[in-house]
């Protein structure tokens, strides 16, 4: 078995399945927003490089939540202008660094939220529920990949 090929295929399949569920829930229409563009980049980290510090559960969930919160605060209290978009994004990066929850995909949240005029509800759906779902799917993916790695290692030594 070509283990690097398996890892790449596994990352793609688990990413696709995870995002399919979120996209399907989104398509139902009556259950809120489940999907946002930064989740594509989150999937790269969670499924593609799961051992990266940037893919840790706390980084994914808290990083997305903090930066989304900053975006929503700016929409509601500061306004959306080129300077406020830049300041909000800078504050989001600062907040992630100070809380040790850096997640690059979350850096897009203030821009996305401010340009689309999202409300407080966006913090729950898609941000919080979506990131928790991605992290749970990432945990399943990691478990499956560990089993395959053990099998491959055991087979090579036998």
Residues whose CB is less than 8 angstroms from the CB of residue 67 and which lie 6 or more positions away in sequence, other chains included: 92, 95, 96, 106, 107, 109, 110
Residue 2 lies in a domain: no
Residue 8 lies in a domain: no
Give the range of the structural domain holding residue 41, as residue numbers without chain letter.
15-157
- Phi/psi of residue 31, each to 5°? -115, 20
Residue 137 lies in a domain: yes
Looking at residue 158, its pLDDT comes to: 60
pTM of the model: 0.92
Looking at residue 13, its pLDDT comes to: 97
Q: How many domains does the chain have?
A: 1
Residue 29 lies in a domain: yes
Residue 65 lies in a domain: yes
Residue 7 lies in a domain: no
Residue 5 lies in a domain: no
CB 88 within 8 A of CB 74: yes
Residue 33 lies in a domain: yes
Looking at residue 1, its pLDDT comes to: 60
Mean pLDDT by runs of 10 across the 158 residues of the chain is 85 98 92 92 98 98 98 98 98 98 98 97 97 98 86 70
């Amino acid at each position: 078995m070509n283990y690097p090929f398996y890892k790449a295929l596994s990352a793609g399949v688990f990413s696709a399945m995870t995002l399919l569920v979120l996209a399907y829930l989104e398509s139902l229409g009556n259950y809120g927003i489940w999907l946002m563009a930064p989740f594509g980049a989150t999937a790269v980290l969670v499924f593609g490089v799961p051992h990266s510090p940037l893919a840790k559960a706390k980084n994914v969930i808290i990083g997305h939540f903090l930066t989304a919160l900053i975006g929503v605060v700016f929409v509601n209290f500061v306004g959306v202008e080129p300077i406020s978009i830049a300041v909000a994004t800078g504050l989001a990066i600062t907040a992630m660094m100070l809380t040790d929850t850096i997640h690059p995909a979350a850096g897009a949240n203030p821009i996305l939220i401010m340009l689309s005029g999202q409300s407080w509800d966006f913090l729950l759906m898609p941000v919080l529920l979506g990131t928790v779902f991605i992290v749970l799917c990432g945990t399943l993916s990691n478990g499956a990949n560990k089993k395959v790695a053990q099998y491959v290692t055991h087979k090579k030594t036998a």
